[in-house]
Amino acid sequence: MSFSIDIREEAGVRTLHFGSDWIQGAMRIARPWRLELDYTRKMMTSLLLRGDAHFPRKVLLIGLGAASLTKFIYRYYPHAKLTVVEIEPRVVAVARQFFKLPQDPLRLNIVIADGSQYIAEHDKTYDLILVDGFGADARPGELDTLPFYQMCRARLNDNGILVVNLLGRNRGYQASLERIKTSFDERALAFPSCDSGNVIAVAATGEEIKIALNELKEQALELKEKTGLNLLPTLVRLEQAKSCPGGILAI
């Protein structure tokens, strides 16, 4: 891949760039474990959806970036084992040097590979798959195809969840969501767009997810107490967007 990797710092926040002003990841230097960007916080709403203290045990992350999601789950879910697939070795080196990516081969396996090829060639299964992979042009390539989403479904355990960052696909985000829905028997929804334009899609296998928003808010308060992550604004936006008829989130 022929792109430069730039690190910038402003107002106590360190950001990762792939040869442009697009922010590929961010870390508040005083709080390296916190999720700085809105879309990363929204992706973690998936942690509330199974109501299981042991969810997730096995996590696959496609795309490392500044390691924000990786560090958050690693820190606050000590029972979870993580596999991170990153196509560009320089990104891994930068995440270690500048973004405090942990080194713990027992719990954190970093694989240098193409995400779509990896998921096609390995038959391990996961409770949670997080897809946040983009090139320097902010395009996902093979990570936004029907075969890829079908393969993600095949790699999920019973009651597994897929979360995809549909960044910058303003014209095509609906098409991306339809591909995910097709792969998951229509069991998918998109969270309302962040200020940054990111749309987060969530899909599920196994038992139907049917949770009252009030119950989700209670869980969100517990998560905030445990980790400092405040998902209440995300749930309020979900409510306002009328994505949950009758106050029930159903996937």
Tell me the two tokens of residue 220: 């969100």
Q: Residues 6, 38, 104, 132: which is the catalytic one?
A: 132
Peptide bond preceding 56 in cis form (omega within 30 of 0): yes
Question: Residue 132 catalytic?
Answer: yes
Contact 29, 14 (CB under 8 A): yes
Active-site residue list: 132
